[in-house]
Amino acid sequence: MNHNKTRNTTINKILSVVIAILLWVFVIGEINPAKEQTFTGIPVQLRNLEVLASSNLAIAGTTDYVVDVKVRGQRSVIDNLLPEDIVAEADLFGYGQGQNYINVRVAIPENTELVEVRSQKIQVVIEELVAVSKPVRVEFVNVPEGKEIGGMSIQPADVEVSGAKSLVGSVASAFGRVDVTGYERGRSNTVQMELQPINDGEAAVGNVRMSSQYADVTYTVMDRKEVPLVVPVEGEIGADKVLSEKVVPETIWIRGTASALRDVEEITTEPVDVSRVADGAEVLLSPVLPEGIELARTNSALRGTFRFKTAASKTLEFTAEEIQLRNLPEGFEGYVAEGVYIVVVKGEPEAVEALDKESVSLSADAGSVQEETSVSLALTADCSVQMDTVSVEPETVEVVFRRTEE
């Protein structure tokens, strides 16, 4: 009898333990059930990038890869899990040029289970690593109306851009902006400008490196002025040709400080050698600019067009006695050096044919003479009939001046 009682007691104890365990499992399952959650946009850390660089290789395209990771665990654990607790890696060791598919390894905290990784492989394009010099380009903003930026220098003027060959090839320049608000008037201003690699479409190019992230820009905010443009010509066209038309800009815009612009009344170009110009061809004009003066951006193309026509010519000879001394001061006499002085006229054939020596005068201006002296004066030929060109050879004459006896 006692034996049965002891046995029943043992069975009751075992049943109590089993029931307690089942109740615990039930309560835990209800209060803290299992849960799955997907974490999106987990960044993939690329390992052994330095190995690629040591092999003169680089990734073409973005290096910002992400994956989605699904994990499972107790709700209390999952609810406290942060994206930063999940680590995704891709090892580049052993990969070479071309298109590569690299496995992504994901590490998650304890008490969680990895359910799925999307995508398990990332596509990485590897190319030759190159380094190319690119120019630094600047854009100025908030420039006052009627002003222009001049006197500019950039240091460094070029930077070395390195990275995958296709990416570096797409870089047009290292670009930056300078806000001129608050500039010092009439003085050079220097600022540091942050650089960004851009393509021809002015879009940023990523995943390349530059030898410098900054450049120092020196500039002056300048005034503008419009002045006449003088275009001299030189050279022999030919015995049967004359310049019939010269189409050049009448004015030119220049820039500089107010003090530098004040004394500039006109700008002259380098002489155009018409002996080297084809009929009707455009010629690039080269302005000769005073110190501190620059061409303004508002100029149209500084080009000239020169046209020629067929003309007749006639050569006339003059002696020293036929040269007139204009503006000879009272009380002086002038003695022109002996010689032959040639005047060549070119024009319409009929007009040249009818031209005689009486229609041409040869003279020199003696108005500057103030004492007895021997000087060289420029010769001037004037023609009473319209001609295209009138030239003198030699261009000067030696004249001795003496006071007259009273």
For 122-148, what is each residue's pLDDT tens digit? 999 999 999 999 999 999 999 998 899
HSE-CB at 207 with a 13 A cutoff on CA atoms is 21
CA atoms of 228 and 247, how far apart (whole Å): 14
- pLDDT tens for 256-278 read 998 899 999 999 999 999 989 99
Which CATH number describes the domain made up of 312-403? 2.170.120.30
Q: 128-219 sits in which CATH class?
A: mainly beta
| pLDDT the model gives residue 4 | 62
Which CATH number describes the domain made up of 34-42+62-119? 2.170.120
Cβ-based neighbours of 279, under 8 Å, separated by 6 or more: 306, 307, 308
DSSP class of 395: S
Worst-scoring range by mean pLDDT, 79-83, 164-168, 192-196, 309-313? Answer: 309-313
pTM over 0.75: no
- Contact indicator for 91, 102 with CB cutoff of 8 Å: yes
CA atoms of 253 and 250, how far apart (whole Å): 11
- pLDDT tens for 288-298 read 999 999 999 98
Which CATH number describes the domain made up of 224-309? 2.170.120.40
In 3D, which of 173, 177, 207 has the Cα closest to residue 192?
A: 177
| pLDDT the model gives residue 90 | 96
Place of tokens 């003090």: 259
